[in-house]
Structure 1
Amino acid sequence: MFVELGLAAGSVYLYNYLNSSEERKFKNNFNEVMLKTGIKNKDEETFKIYKIETKSYGYVCYLKNTKGLSVEHLESKINILECNLNSIVQIEKATFRNYIKMYVVNKDLDKFMFEPVKCKSHQLYFGKDYKGQSYTIDLNKHPMLLIAGATGYGKSMLLACILTNLVYNSPKDVELYLTQLIKGEISSFADCGPVKMVAYNPTELMIAINKVRMKMEERSNLFKAHGIRNIQQWNSHFPNRRMKRVILVCEEMSELMELPVWEQIWKVVKAGRSVGVHLIGALQRTTATNLDTDVKSQMTRITFHQNSIIDSQNVINSNNAMKLKRGECIVCGNDGEIKIKVPYIDDDFVLLNKYVPEIRIPTKKEKQEILNVKKINNKIYSIEQPQIIDVEENQIKPTGKKRVRKGVISLEDIEDVNREG
């Protein structure tokens, strides 16, 4: 027993010794970098680490406030710090405290599988930050999102992650309008309850945009009539008439910018925020033409790996997107740049189907498309794609008319009178 206790105590001592040794090495390295960057006051003093905590992702360091220096001095050299410490560095100034907190991430986050994270309807789940914490974006603060990046680095996976988590958590609180003019994975969500429409061509896209625009106008008029500023206030004052979040998702937005419908989409971007209408747009190649200052100022930018310095700078005004690996992205918003890792999702979406069975996955059985049809004058019409089908009269079963209250004339009755007259 004494031998076992001795071994246990020795193991703990060795673990603490190794940790403290690594911490001392890191502190010395940091102090050396600080001196060489020239961050110092008139008394040749600089920031020093007085406390360090070892975490699974790296370290949390506490720096003493130094007279004559501010947190801005430290932030101005963050690129040098990251390069010399071979880490991701985040600076946080604690309010009313005499220290600065610095997060140092020097270990890659392990690959993790997608699983739903509890969120409200105005929160979009992206994955995990490099401290291992779930990361969400609040649509109240970031109402319009632009997702950019080279092919094969995770744009579609992020969209799938966002949509699955929304459908899983808030099926009755969101409405989704999806557009896919070129080949993509977004049509896999077509059967999900919150999805009101999937547009596959410019004509269908115009219909979807008009529906969204009309909803915006209706809500705007209601807000004016009741003295309401935004959707949060409306839902707070009218809990029995709660409004859903409306999200328009556009794959390959650069294609849409060349179509007349872009003007209508841009109206959604500019006026949708207060009434709870949002846009998520994906963009592969970023240029000064399709990503001008107006677009960048109106939308929160998320980028995956970019192949060139120019593409990276076009999105986030820095070269950092070139360093990203597959499944990693940078969120560039009001809080600066935040690096996120997207959860792993298989190409066939089998994992997503486990949580949301309506998500389509590959099958050997051919899916029968259900047509919405209507009989007019003994001929059958398809409502989605109008076409006349010749059917023998004796094969057509009479359709029963809807019962109406006494004294109420239906629109169909009026049309019949006009035809007979």
Structure 2
Amino acid sequence: MLFEVGSIIVMGGLAGYASLKTSGSTSNDADKIQRIFANAGWNGRNSETIRLQRKAKFKGGVEYVYQIPLGFDRKKIEADKHILEDGLNIRHKYLDFDPSELLKIKFDKTVLQQIKKILTNKKIKRKEIELSFDGMLRIKVYNERMQDQYDWDETYLKPGTWSVSIGQTRKGTVRHDFDEYKHLIIAGASGYGKSAILKLIVTSLVLQQPDNVNLHLIDLKGGSAFQRFKDIKQVKNYTREPEETKDILAEIQKGMNKTYTEIVDEGFEDIKESGRKERHFIIIDEAADIADNSACMDVVTDIARRGRGAGYYLIYATQYPSSQSIPQQTKRNIPSRLCFVLDDATASNTALGQTGAEELPLIPGRGIYKNVKSQVVQTPYLNNKEIKKRITPHIVIKPRKETESDNVEPRQGEERGSNSFEYEEM
């Protein structure tokens, strides 16, 4: 029996190795890449070919380094990265063998069938690539795609800073430091992570800087993203009505001008140099709804242009990126972008300044973060239950604004305020 088991394991291993060779292993990826270059027309001006200089294995994949011909336009590969990735994934089947499975074998009359099943278990695994340029073209080929979800926990926080986790890569966590990069544009189709990252940013700012952050939340999608935050003490303005947005933005602009004048008069260049701790975040979800309101957009552009000096940072989000919804002046003042999947290359180019978002997999939270260089990230997932738990200690019952009905004299026999509600925090 032991001899038979040993023989089957050896034979299965050889069969698996043969399967790897015939189905497309990393050993022939270099040949595939060279053929893709030729078929896609990615050559130099005089038909010079891209030559492989060296390759090196790393955990989870192989890096190929190529010499680029003179006059080669590397943007061709950046724009059509999916062609290279799709070509590498043609007929890729791998032997998915985990040695620990052998420990689960039951030594009964079905032992041979169990071993055979373990050794012949094949799964489709999609390869992913990462491009970089440093005088040479570097193509990292990963044997498996990036993890689909990273659950948020306290390790993503940096208390006392304005640095917020934007996403996870294979190399670690990518953060956006608002004190360094100031504003942020966020775009993406509905259901793929835009609202989730906005809630994560708000929660992170509250937990990291509870006494210094001032939030101005404008939720033009009906309040679904920010409603849960409206009663925390850090929120200075909240609306879900486009009609109220103009007045709120005007109030914010007035405060920004006052702060900026004070900082300059004190002899400082900006908020960081002045040593002031307070920061204001103006977060607009579905900004396309105010794109045709010139009064609103004038203030938005002004915040993007001058807000950084006064500590007024803009987060501008939309699921409909266009030249109208993201004005050119606003884009020029906000180089940092986070973009989830979009329906076409035009929308991607509008939001990111490059194509690529239209080729992202349909995975919630998968996006491209661009700040000088762009990289694919998976944003940490923070569920609503955890958000509620984290922000509950910051909830306060704010005084109700006086309305006209408060000044009406009660009718005879009726006590003033008899129709009002009393709220008690639980």
TM-score w.r.t. length of structure 1: 0.70
Alignment of 1:352-363 (within 5 A): 352-358=387-393
Structure-2 change in CA distance of 1:230 and 1:160 (3 Å): same
* Alignment partner of 1:104 is 2:131: no
Partners in 2 of 1:253 and 1:146 — Cα distance? 10
From 367, 372, 382, the counterpart of 1:335: 372
After TM superposition, give the deviation of residue 159 of structure 1 in Å. 0.7
* Native 8 Å contact 2:357 2:368 kept in 1: no
Q: Which residue of 2 aligns with 1:364?
A: none
Question: Tell me, what secondary structure is at the counterpart of 2:57?
Answer: strand
Q: Deviations over 1:186-244 (max 9, x none)?
A: 12112333222212435653453244223322332233223322222222xxxxxx232
Question: Tell me, what secondary structure is at the counterpart of 1:278?
Answer: strand
Structure-2 change in CA distance of 1:197 and 1:271 (3 Å): same
* Native 8 Å contact 2:36 2:84 kept in 1: yes
Q: Which residue of 1 aligns with 2:33?
A: 30
Alignment of 1:222-301 (within 5 A): 222-235=262-275, 242-259=276-293, 260-299=295-334, 300-301=336-337
* Alignment partner of 1:147 is 2:186: yes
Question: Tell me, what secondary structure is at the counterpart of 2:56?
Answer: strand
From 213, 225, 245, the counterpart of 1:174: 213
* Alignment partner of 1:305 is 2:308: no
Partners in 2 of 1:169 and 1:263 — Cα distance? 31
After TM superposition, give the deviation of residue 254 of structure 1 in Å. 1.6
After TM superposition, give the deviation of residue 359 of structure 1 in Å. 8.0
- Give aligned pairs, total: 358
Question: Tell me, what secondary structure is at the counterpart of 1:261?
Answer: helix
Partners in 1 of 2:296 and 2:165 — Cα distance? 29
* Native 8 Å contact 2:218 2:239 kept in 1: yes
Structure-2 change in CA distance of 1:136 and 1:34 (3 Å): same
After TM superposition, give the deviation of residue 53 of structure 1 in Å. 2.4
Partners in 1 of 2:50 and 2:220 — Cα distance? 56
Structure-2 change in CA distance of 1:145 and 1:158 (3 Å): same
Partners in 2 of 1:60 and 1:322 — Cα distance? 26
Report the AA paired with residue 32 of structure 1: R
* Alignment partner of 1:39 is 2:65: no
Q: Which residue of 1 aligns with 2:230?
A: 190
From 53, 60, 63, the counterpart of 2:57: 53
Question: Tell me, what secondary structure is at the counterpart of 1:285?
Answer: coil
Report the AA paired with residue 250 of structure 1: I
Q: Which residue of 1 aligns with 2:249?
A: 209
Partners in 1 of 2:47 and 2:286 — Cα distance? 55
Partners in 2 of 1:60 and 1:74 — Cα distance? 21
Partners in 2 of 1:143 and 1:384 — Cα distance? 37
After TM superposition, give the deviation of residue 125 of structure 1 in Å. 1.9
Q: Which residue of 2 aligns with 1:113?
A: 151
Structure-2 change in CA distance of 1:41 and 1:389 (3 Å): closer
Structure-2 change in CA distance of 1:153 and 1:358 (3 Å): farther
Gaps of 5+ in 2: 90-126, 417-426
Partners in 2 of 1:371 and 1:335 — Cα distance? 42
Report the AA paired with residue 241 of structure 2: N
TM-score w.r.t. length of structure 2: 0.69
Question: Tell me, what secondary structure is at the counterpart of 1:90?
Answer: strand
CA RMSD of aligned residues (A): 4.1
Report the AA paired with residue 387 of structure 1: D
Q: Which residue of 2 aligns with 1:417?
A: none
Question: Tell me, what secondary structure is at the counterpart of 1:125?
Answer: strand
Structure-2 change in CA distance of 1:383 and 1:126 (3 Å): same
Structure-2 change in CA distance of 1:385 and 1:276 (3 Å): farther
Report the AA paired with residue 77 of structure 1: I
Partners in 1 of 2:233 and 2:85 — Cα distance? 45
Structure-2 change in CA distance of 1:321 and 1:224 (3 Å): same
After TM superposition, give the deviation of residue 44 of structure 1 in Å. 5.7
Report the AA paired with residue 234 of structure 1: S
Partners in 2 of 1:285 and 1:42 — Cα distance? 42
After TM superposition, give the deviation of residue 248 of structure 1 in Å. 0.4
* Native 8 Å contact 1:122 1:245 kept in 2: no
Partners in 2 of 1:46 and 1:265 — Cα distance? 46
Alignment of 1:1-16 (within 5 A): none
Structure-2 change in CA distance of 1:386 and 1:264 (3 Å): farther
From 399, 404, 407, the counterpart of 1:388: 407
Gaps of 5+ in 1: 236-241, 361-368, 374-381, 397-421
* Alignment partner of 1:158 is 2:197: yes
* Native 8 Å contact 1:49 1:63 kept in 2: yes
Structure-2 change in CA distance of 1:315 and 1:370 (3 Å): closer
Report the AA paired with residue 63 of structure 2: C
After TM superposition, give the deviation of residue 128 of structure 1 in Å. 1.3
Q: Which residue of 1 aligns with 2:111?
A: none
After TM superposition, give the deviation of residue 152 of structure 1 in Å. 1.9
* Native 8 Å contact 2:30 2:64 kept in 1: no
